[in-house]
Amino acid sequence: MDGDRVEIDGGVMEGGGQILRVSTALSCLLGLPLRVRRIRAGRSQPGLRPQHLSGLEMIRDLCDGQLEGGAIGSTEITFTPGKIKGGTHIADTKTAGSVCLLIQVAMPCVLFAASPSELRLRGGTNAEMAPQIDYTVMVFKPIVEKFNLTFDCDIKRRGYYPQGGGEVIVRMSPVKQLSPINLTERGTVTKIHGRAFVAGALPIKLAKDMASAAVRCIRKEIRDLYVNIQTVREADNQAFGTGSGIIIVAETSTGCLFAGSALGKRGKNSDRVGIEAAEMLLGNLRHGGAVDDYLQDQLIIFMALANGVSRVKSGPITLHTQTAIHFAEQLTKAKFTVTKSEDEDSTKDTYLIECQGMGMINSNV
């Protein structure tokens, strides 16, 4: 049995938790026993952190698998998957570990379960070093649903750094197979909207300052569109702890979505937070791709599983995306090609990611 284990080096390329997410999800889907060594070797605190461990434990539970080496700080795990089952699955990072990253690891698996699933995920919803839950709902969800899947994301309570304490419930039904996607036409920006929030002890004025600084920054480059950023104070029963932040989303005529976001922290000026989000959005709009830099890598696993050729036009390929492609190709029969986009406007730094998906079929459906 051990001779057939796929060996994964967790220290190459991006060298972080993403290698673990992609490889364990694919291991679970394909029934491939896995050994991952040098986990997060590239990080200041190598080995499993609480959010990685809770993600692994959830994958283990949703396929009745076996996990060895599953402990905080562990740099090597072996995972032997069983059969994916639907139903209710719970993961709790017990920290501000990101629920959005838990969604990334579990979602591809439960799509190929035998029955509908409910994921109850606890941890940080708006935390550093991960997508904010608003990004997951406003950008990731509408785009990933183009693969011919649907899911429902219910934010019960928001949680912030350092305590976490948020809870999100994701419900989804299985699919027979995923359709390929074609995201190559950027279109023109038709709408810019967003949300600036405070929670806990912070005054609403901070949200207003973030929003107005963001609007001023965007106006310098995009003058002809109304920028609508809501300012909200999260209800006390819907937020745990104290936090603040902003997300701004641009929609285009072809249905593409781009975002910029930032979080407030002690000692960081609210104007600065708003400007940071606005500049991130503007940077994502400049490169001429059809997805933003944060969506790139999140689509790779779905492209690999889909039945047919997917095409995605993007800005410069991120290290996260290169890493996801590397491990998707190592574990599936999918084939990716990345080419510099040679179209009308050569001043743009755009690339075409193409994938002949493996055509994963859900034999349960």
295 is in an annotated binding site: yes
Instruction: For residues 264 and 270, give the distance between their C-alpha atoms in angstroms, rounded to a whole number.
Output: 7
4 is in an annotated binding site: no
132 is in an annotated binding site: no
297 is in an annotated binding site: yes
Q: Which DSSP category does 62 fall into?
A: H
Amino acid of residue 269: N
Instruction: For residues 18 and 107, give the distance between their C-alpha atoms in angstroms, rounded to a whole number.
Output: 14
pTM attached to this predicted model: 0.96
322 is in an annotated binding site: no
298 is in an annotated binding site: yes
Instruction: For residues 195 and 143, give the distance between their C-alpha atoms in angstroms, rounded to a whole number.
Output: 19
List the catalytic residues. 320
Q: Which DSSP category does 204 fall into?
A: H
Please list the pLDDT of the chain residue by residue as tens digits (365 residues): 455 899 999 999 999 999 999 999 999 999 999 999 999 998 899 999 999 999 999 999 999 999 999 999 999 999 999 999 999 999 999 999 999 999 999 999 999 999 999 999 999 999 988 999 999 999 999 999 999 999 999 999 999 999 999 999 999 999 999 999 999 999 999 999 999 999 999 999 999 999 999 999 999 999 999 999 999 999 999 999 999 999 999 999 999 999 999 999 999 999 999 999 999 999 999 999 999 999 999 999 999 999 999 999 999 999 999 999 999 999 999 999 999 987 666 567 899 999 999 999 999 88
Helix, strand, coil abundance in the chain, percent, nearest 5: 30, 30, 40
